[in-house]
């Protein structure tokens, strides 16, 4: 069950990541912050550690541009990659076709809405019926385009419970939510609501004992009966 908890490496360098590489953790999320500083060296580093990379760049562009970018990315054998659903169904479809032709082991995820967005902000973006309407529409696009999974906040998991897509959710907190993530839940709540994977960043990155905090996450999720 450990592999269902993904650690988000929201740091600036590979040197910093060493503190958070635990024997028990398998999948690590690499976003723009680390990738902008270290680039594709991340893959060599994580491969040597025996870890899988969830490359979370939330790729969003016209189909041909995304396709050209993925040709390079897929050669590094990422475990997961993200494409923003706002890019449209054709962009996701082209990504899926390319993946099927080159690297079937990579999981393609569509991103719905960032966890930093409030219902008011989503309505201002043009989704007049708010978060639920936006997430349902974007999830339909992701599923129809043939992606493997969807990234959404834990608060939207029950809204899309009927989808067969894998559900990956960030916004996981053991304590009080932070100011920049409004739609959050505990590990236990997220899995109870239907998450297949949870992504945990600052809960672990800011802990005085990161590995013990990782075990606290596992325990809260119901995977352990002790702290580790």
Catalytic residues: 58
Burial-class residue 149 by CB neighbours within 10 Å (0-12, 13-18, 19+). buried
Structure letter (DSSP) for residue 129 = T
Write a three-state SS string for 180-200.
CCCCCECHHHHHHCCCCEEEE
Cα distances (Å, whole numbers) of residue 94 to 83, 85, 109, 140: 11, 13, 13, 16
Three-state SS for 123? helix
């Amino acid at each position: 069950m450990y592999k269902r908890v993904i650690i988000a490496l929201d740091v600036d360098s590979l040197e910093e990541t060493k503190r958070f590489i635990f024997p028990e953790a398998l999948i690590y999320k690499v976003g723009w912050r680390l990738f902008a500083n270290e680039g594709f060296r991340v893959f060599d580093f994580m491969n040597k550690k025996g870890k899988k990379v969830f490359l979370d760049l939330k790729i969003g562009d016209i189909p041909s541009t995304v396709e050209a970018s993925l040709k390079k990315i897929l050669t590094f054998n990422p475990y997961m990659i993200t494409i923003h659903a706002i890019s449209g169904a054709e962009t996701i479809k082209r990504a899926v076709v390319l993946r099927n032709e080159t690297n079937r082991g990579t999981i393609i995820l569509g991103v719905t809405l960032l966890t930093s967005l409030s219902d008011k902000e989503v309505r201002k973006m043009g989704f007049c019926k708010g978060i639920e309407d936006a997430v349902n529409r974007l999830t339909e696009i992701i599923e129809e385009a043939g992606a493997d999974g969807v990234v959404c906040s834990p608060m939207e998991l029950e809204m899309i419970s009927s989808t067969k897509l894998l559900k990956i959710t960030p916004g996981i907190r053991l304590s009080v939510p932070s100011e920049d993530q409004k739609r959050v839940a505990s590990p236990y709540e997220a899995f109870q609501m239907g998450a297949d994977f949870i992504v945990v960043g600052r809960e672990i990155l800011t802990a005085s004992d990161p590995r013990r905090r990782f075990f606290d996450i596992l325990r809260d999720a119901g995977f352990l009966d002790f702290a580790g």
